[in-house]
Amino acid sequence: MTYSRVTRPYRDVTELFARVEIPRPRFFANSSLASIVRMTLDGIGISAIPPAVIADELAAGRLRRLDCATDLPPLVFTASYLDQPDNALAAIVALLAQTVAAEETDQKS
């Protein structure tokens, strides 16, 4: 289980499985990370999502991380908005997102 079919992470995961000579697994695509986590907790299958999303579940032992020979590329996010006088909140939220992302990057360094 992973992100929706129109995303880069979905394409990355399916391409990794296409490189090996095994029967193609069934992929469940979902645009809700909360739903992916819930389905994984319910035992529907394995998920390809960042460990930070499931940190509590990993710490509690409800989920476990599988070691893989290949890492997925890091996720990259963008924020787009119309820069208009009546849309000031969008610019503030975009700046907040950039600040949080920069702090997360600094903490990992």
pLDDT in tens, 37-75: 999 999 999 998 888 889 999 999 999 999 888 888 887
Residues 21 and 51 occupy one common structural domain: yes
With vertex at residue 67, the alpha carbon angle to CA 48 and CA 75, rounded to the nearest 5 degrees, is 40
Single-letter amino acid, residue 7: T
Q: 59 is written with which tokens?
A: 């710490």
| pTM exceeding the 0.75 threshold for the entire prediction | no
Cα(45)–Cα(108) distance, rounded to whole angstroms?
A: 29
- Number of domains forming the structure of the chain: 2
Residues 56 and 84 occupy one common structural domain: no
In eight-state DSSP terms, residue 76 is -
- Is 1 inside any structural domain? no
28, 39 in Cβ contact below 8 A?
yes
Residue whose C-alpha is closest to residue 52's, from 22, 74, 69, 30:
74
